[in-house]
Structure 1
Amino acid sequence: MTLAKTANQSTVTVSGHEIEMHKGGSGPPLLFLHGGGGFGTFDPTSSPLADKFTVYAPSHPGFFGSARPDWLYTINDLSHFYKDMVQQLGLDDYVLVGHSVGGWIAAEMAAMDHHNIKGLVLIDAAGVRPVNGEITEVFMVSGDTRLKLAFHDPAQVPNYDSLSADPGPEGATVMHGNMEMLSRLCWRPYLHNPSLTKYLDGVKTPALVVWGKQDAIIPVECGEIYAKLLPNATLKSIDNCGHNPQMEKPEEFNAAMAAFLGEL
């Protein structure tokens, strides 16, 4: 799901391509990169993050009905796009947060150049391949199946009905387009970059790795890999929680974020 239309919505043109940007809060800058399913029921621009930070939450190019740049084929390409956006917006000494595929983008950005990233937060991030488990197939299954995989216990998710409701023809078209763009970026190799693990030890930025312990899409083993390879990382695994801790366990998620961000 994209964020609701708000007074803080604008468009930003980066590398000749226009994207939707939501902005909220006040304080130093924080960039939040959404996962393949969008923001869901979690709006970072009105969350507790916005109490201490100016939160920037863009929609990825090619998602939610936006034009698909012909040159954008990989997560690495998208990471360069966002590095250009950060420079264009003048974000400096900023906190970089990413969920799922957005976490993969964030990890790639930090590996490219972390000098102006004050803190890095990866939430159930794609990007690395587990050694023992596997990343679940999400492209060749129904939307209902993907939704079931996304949460350990839907009863814990505030406003879950808004996620499971019939999106209607227009919404279904948008969701199909999102998955098409996601598969374009992540299909081969599947939801990871084999080279990323070779670069993470150079990221000296303080990092928090947050993971739902029962994530049925990207296993917590991947969080352990990130936490091991990032030199200054802490792993916070949340029990009885799936792929979206910011939605399924908001109190524990917000507490972990507040503790980490308060020490930067």
Structure 2
Amino acid sequence: MQYEIKQHDKFSFIEEGEGQPLVLLHGLFGALSNFTELIHFFKRYNKVVVPMLPLLDMDILHTSVSGLAKYLHKFIELRDYKNIHLLGNSLGGHVGLVYLLKYENKNRVKTVTLTGSSGLFESAMGDSYPKRGDREYIRKKTEYTFYDPAMATEELVDEVFSITNNRLKVIKIIALAKSAIRNNLEKELQNIQIPALLIWGKNDNVTPPFVAEEFHKLLPNSELHFIDKCGHAPMMEVPDEFNRILFNFLKKHSAIATEA
């Protein structure tokens, strides 16, 4: 399903539906395809917003989790969203948390949802990067993201391969990965008091289940849901179950508008 990409100043984003904003933050190799089912479901109840995070387009000095959090802050300020419900997958969850800790001082954000988030621990692409052109390596690493290797379609592998086959993009990916490792939030998470939802794949190899347990322990107002036979991207791999859990959470926190 194709969605219109809108432009406001330097920001590109998708905005579908009406209601309280549900802002979706994608991960390091994320794309709109990651959120297709989620957008389709929630645009009936919320204003679903997907900012195109410039993961590989910022200058190298600002290619960091903090740099992306600042970008998100400027985007939210420009759009003047209120009653926001943040949702982040993988690096996107980490960016959302840093935004909450560094920039959220106007009570704009009402809830935060994390799925496979970095910020405490992650086993990213591995200890080393392949030589450019090693498509089979990329296939294996993409399959590693999911419980069901068949989720790593040719189209998805091509998408990741095209990124990792560009020298400058690889440098920025490594910079972001190192930034995520350095930016450990263990000592700060207690300061996030808003309701937090954790949706985690029981078979997540990148941010294993113990990471979810640690987030649950450190976030004072959190609830944790595991999904069996599911990897690092539950909203892609088990969208119906993911949407059901998220819907119930948002409904509990008065975030769901009645469908027209």
TM-score (norm 2): 0.83
Cα distance per residue 1:192-238 (max 9 Å; x no partner): 523x1111111111110111111111111111111111111001111
In the other structure, the counterpart of 1:213 is: 202
Superposition CA RMSD, Å: 2.4
Question: Percent of aligned pairs with the same residue?
Answer: 26
CA contact (8 A) 1:209 1:234 kept: yes
Q: 2:23 is matched with which residue: 6, 31, 40?
A: 31
1:5 Cα shift? Answer: 5.5
Structure 1 residue 161, shift from structure 2 partner: 4.9
Asked if the contact 2:38/2:235 (under 8 Å) is kept, the reply is no
Map 1:34-183 → 2, pairs under 5 A: 34-39=26-31, 40-43=33-36, 46-63=39-56, 67-112=57-102, 113=104, 115-129=107-121, 135-138=123-126, 140-141=129-130, 142-155=137-150, 157=151, 160-164=153-157, 166=158, 172-176=161-165, 179-183=170-174
Gaps in structure 2 of 5+ consecutive residues: 131-136, 254-260
List per-residue Cα deviations over 1:77-132 (Å, max 9, x = no partner).
Answer: 21122112111110111101100000111111122226221110001001103xxx
Counterpart position of 1:185: 176
1:239 Cα offset (Å): 0.8
The one-letter amino acid of 1:127's match is G
CA–CA distance in 1 between the matches of 2:129 and 2:164? Answer: 14
Distance 1:205 1:186 in 2: 27
- Map of 1:263 onto structure 2: 252
Change in Cα spacing, 1:212 to 1:183, as seen in structure 2 (3 Å) is same
Moved more, 75-84 or 92-101: 75-84
Deviation digits for residues 4-25 of structure 1, max 9, x if unmatched? 763x212233xxxx34211212
Q: State the alpha-carbon separation in 1 of the partners of residues 21 and 186 from structure 2.
A: 27
2:225 is paired with a residue whose SS is: strand
Q: Cα gap change, 1:176/1:93 in structure 2, threshold over 3 Å: closer, same or farther?
A: farther
Amino acid at match of 2:58: R
Higher normalized helix content (fraction of residues): 2
Relative to structure 1, is the Cα distance of residues 41 and 186 closer, same or farther in structure 2, using a 3 angstrom cutoff?
A: closer
Counterparts of 2:28 and 2:35 in 1: how far apart (Å)? 14
CA contact (8 A) 2:37 2:239 kept: no
One-letter amino acid of the counterpart of residue 204, structure 1: Q
Is 1:230 matched with 2:222?
no
Contact kept? 1:209, 1:236, Cα under 8 Å: yes
State the AA in 1 paired with 2:71. Answer: F
* Contact map agreement 2:207 2:232 (CA 8 A) in 1: yes
Letter in 2 for 1:182: I
Q: Name the aligned partner's letter for residue 228 of structure 2.
A: D
Matched position secondary structure for 1:183: helix
4+ residue runs over 6 A deviation? none
Shift, 1:137, TM fit: 3.7
3-state SS, counterpart of residue 255 of structure 1: helix
What CA distance in whole angstroms lies between the structure 1 residues aligned with 2:110 and 2:220? 14
